[in-house]
Amino acid sequence: MLHAYRSQSSRSSAPASATAAPGASPYVFVRKSAPRPSAVFDTYWRFAVERQAIYHRRVRGASSPWTTDSILQQHKFTNAYRASDRVSQYLIREVIYGGGFDWKSTVLRVLLFKIFNKIETWKLLEHVFGTIDAKSFNVEAFANVLEQARSTGGSIYSAAYIMPSGVSAGPRGRKHVMHLELLASEIAKGLPADLLEAPTMEAAYQRLLSVPSFGRFLAYQFIIDLNYTNELSFSEMEFVVPGPGARDGIRKCFVDLGDYDETNLIRWVTEKQSQEFERLGLKFSDLWGRPLQLIDCQNLFCEVDKYARVAHPEVSGISGRTRIKQKFAVNMQPVPSPWFPPKWKINSAIPGVAQTGRSRK
């Protein structure tokens, strides 16, 4: 139950804070009923610690196995920090900061890459067309190359998430053609300028949500990706949208959400991270000084949903899934030196990583 009381500051004659929300209510709402964790909630934090420890061990060049956790040895999980995953690292290094692109080209490159979300597809397009930008992008030519790759049995889309077909967005029959046409249409309608003018991450998200076939989950993922650029400067603590996997994980981690919805619960968990690690006596090796953000804790709920299928088979989620599909296969290739958006100011703390990286001048 939410209880309201009148804020003392609302009775003051002092001017409103410059950071106060427009039209802020004089009432402060206090959530009286806190979420009630299940046994899986402790597993959430232990998973975060061990998954991040595995990441650091691999970055340092340690030999396999990188953990004694049998579930993590056998099954594939994403990193604790979204930006440190392989595809995100490629996006940041190569797609965003791989050349001096203007904003229109950057938006096109990010969305083109993320629609397919497959490094091999991007490399194919670059191999055929060279540098991809707003001038070189051609729906017909790109569609023909992708159709040829698809017709030979190759997959041009990642299996990480399902891209809707976008049938309503165009008259042509192929899914990839519709996505290319949709991207060209949105760029022509001023999407890059709209994103620059958005005052908040949520406003930018709403603009992406207006794109046909971009649902809530994809629109949120895409604004996180676009926010890696220098041009956008939203905080990752501004806004979060729980995906279906995260909802499953939340259901397993909590017996009762209390007065919290899933969105506010993710914020509650994110803001409690230091307290929870201390409570459990855990040492969390963060991302070179950067704590977990809303997007990371959202993703961790998704990963813990999968982990709990084996670790806590008696705890059911929403989907009813009981197995982890993806098996982990050891890749002995060294992990490339991590590199993150320069505005985060953490690259200088990474051993052996140049501070300038591939940043645009």
**Residue whose token pair is 């597809």:** 121
Q: Judge whether 212 and 166 are in contact, CB under 8 Å.
A: yes
Instruction: State the chain's mean pLDDT as an integer.
Output: 88
Q: Half-sphere exposure of 87 toward its Cβ, with a 13 Å CA cutoff? A: 20
Which pLDDT score, from 0 to 100, does residue 326 have? Answer: 65
Residue type, 261: D
CA separation for the pair 103, 89 (Å, rounded): 20
Q: Are residues 127 and 156 in the same domain?
A: yes
**What token pair was written down for 328?**
């982990």
Residue 186 has pLDDT above 90, yes or no: yes
Q: What is the mean pLDDT of residues 79-102?
A: 97
Residue 30 has pLDDT above 60, yes or no: yes
User: CA of 281: how far to CAs of 39, 93, 349, in Å?
Assistant: 16, 35, 25
Mean pLDDT check: name the lowest of 22-36, 131-145, 151-165, 193-207: 22-36
Tell me whether residue 184 is in a domain: yes
Q: What is the mean pLDDT of residues 102-108?
A: 99
Burial bucket for residue 293 (CB in 10 Å: 0-12, 13-18, 19+): buried
CA separation for the pair 253, 356 (Å, rounded): 40
Q: Are residues 219 and 292 in the same domain?
A: no
CA separation for the pair 3, 29 (Å, rounded): 6
Q: What is the pTM for the complete model shown?
A: 0.86
Which pLDDT score, from 0 to 100, does residue 170 have? Answer: 47
Q: Are residues 90 and 199 in the same domain?
A: yes
End of a domain among 226, 251, 277?
226
Residue 199 has pLDDT above 80, yes or no: yes
The model's confidence at residue 335, banded by pLDDT at 50, 70 and 90, is confident
Which pLDDT score, from 0 to 100, does residue 154 have? Answer: 81
Number of domains in the chain: 2
Tell me whether residue 18 is in a domain: no
> Which runs of consecutive H residues, i.e. helices, occur in the chain?
39-59, 70-74, 86-90, 103-116, 119-129, 139-151, 175-188, 191-197, 201-209, 216-226, 244-253, 262-271, 273-279, 294-311
DSSP β-bridge partners for residue 28: 5
64 versus 180: the higher-pLDDT residue is 180
CA separation for the pair 214, 222 (Å, rounded): 9
Q: Closest Cα partner for 354 from 95, 79, 93, 131? A: 93
Which pLDDT score, from 0 to 100, does residue 316 have? Answer: 80
For the residues of 13-82, what is the DSSP string, one character each? -SPPPTTSPTT--SEEEEE-S--EE-HHHHHHHHHHHHHHHHHHHHHTTPPSP--S-HHHHHB----SSG
Tell me whether residue 5 is in a domain: no
The pLDDT tens digits of the residues spanning 116-135 come to 999 999 999 999 999 999 99
**Percentage of the chain modeled with pLDDT above 70:** 82
**What token pair was written down for 313?**
């088979």
Strands 36-37 and 254-256: antiparallel
Q: Are residues 250 and 264 in the same domain?
A: yes
Tell me whether residue 8 is in a domain: no
Which pLDDT score, from 0 to 100, does residue 172 have? Answer: 52
Mean pLDDT check: name the lowest of 40-49, 100-109, 172-181, 312-321: 312-321
Tell me whether residue 339 is in a domain: no
Q: What is the mean pLDDT of residues 98-116?
A: 97
The model's confidence at residue 17, banded by pLDDT at 50, 70 and 90, is very low
The pLDDT tens digits of the residues spanning 241-300 come to 999 999 999 999 999 999 999 999 999 999 999 999 999 999 999 999 999 999 999 999
Q: Are residues 151 and 62 in the same domain?
A: no
Residue 347 has pLDDT above 70, yes or no: yes
Tell me whether residue 115 is in a domain: yes
The model's confidence at residue 359, banded by pLDDT at 50, 70 and 90, is very low
